[in-house]
């Protein structure tokens, strides 16, 4: 599947989505919030224009919190199965982060940056070919 258009769903299938745009940025985030929200060593995200995202089925639940930089972060998830699907940041208006794990075929995913490298778990392998930032990149 091409990353020009991709689709996905939550674990139970109550929420499905399609994206009609190529990701603007593909990122691995090692911040504490991504680790806690995903239950994984880091969060893997494809950032797309929000208007390119179409969501079908149930309305996602929402949880908001402040980031360490003071931005308002919103996590969108399935209220039936708990799958985290999307994230948005009020400092990046019009962008939506799509969690890679919920994409039907994410074989195209190739992160171009690691953010919060300083928070990466010691056991997490880091590809030296990918740009890394100790905190959030500008």
Task: Specify whether the CB–CB gap between 16 and 54 falls below 8 A.
Answer: no
The pLDDT, as a whole number, for residue 30 is 94
Q: Tell me, yes or no, whether 84 lies in a domain.
A: yes
CATH number for the domain that contains residue 37: 2.170.150.70
Read off φ and ψ for residue 61, nearest 5 degrees.
-75, 170
Q: Tell me, yes or no, whether 18 lies in a domain.
A: yes
pLDDT digits (tens, 9 = 90+) for 55-114: 999 999 999 998 877 789 999 999 999 999 999 998 889 999 999 999 999 999 999 999
Q: Tell me, yes or no, whether 17 lies in a domain.
A: yes
Q: Tell me, yes or no, whether 49 lies in a domain.
A: yes
- 116 vs 54, more confident: 54
The pLDDT, as a whole number, for residue 137 is 58
Q: Tell me, yes or no, whether 132 lies in a domain.
A: no
Task: Specify whether the CB–CB gap between 23 and 90 falls below 8 A.
Answer: no
The pLDDT, as a whole number, for residue 138 is 53
β-partners of residue 89 are 73
Q: Tell me, yes or no, whether 13 lies in a domain.
A: yes
pLDDT surpasses 70 at 2: no
Q: Tell me, yes or no, whether 126 lies in a domain.
A: no
Instruction: Give the count of domains, the chain.
Output: 1
Domain encompassing residue 60: 6-120
């Amino acid at each position: 599947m091409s990353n020009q258009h991709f689709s996905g769903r939550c674990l139970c299938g109550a929420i499905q989505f399609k994206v009609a745009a190529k990701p603007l940025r593909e990122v691995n985030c090692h911040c504490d919030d991504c680790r806690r929200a995903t239950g994984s060593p880091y969060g893997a995200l494809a950032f797309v224009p929000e208007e390119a995202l179409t969501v079908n089925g149930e309305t996602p639940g929402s949880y908001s919190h402040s980031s360490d930089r003071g931005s308002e972060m919103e996590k969108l998830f399935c209220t039936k199965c708990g799958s985290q699907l999307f994230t948005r940041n009020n400092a990046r208006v019009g962008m939506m982060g799509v969690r890679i794990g919920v994409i039907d075929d994410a074989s195209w995913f190739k992160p171009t940056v690691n953010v919060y490298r300083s928070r990466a778990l010691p056991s997490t392998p880091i590809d030296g070919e990918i740009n890394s930032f100790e905190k959030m990149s500008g």
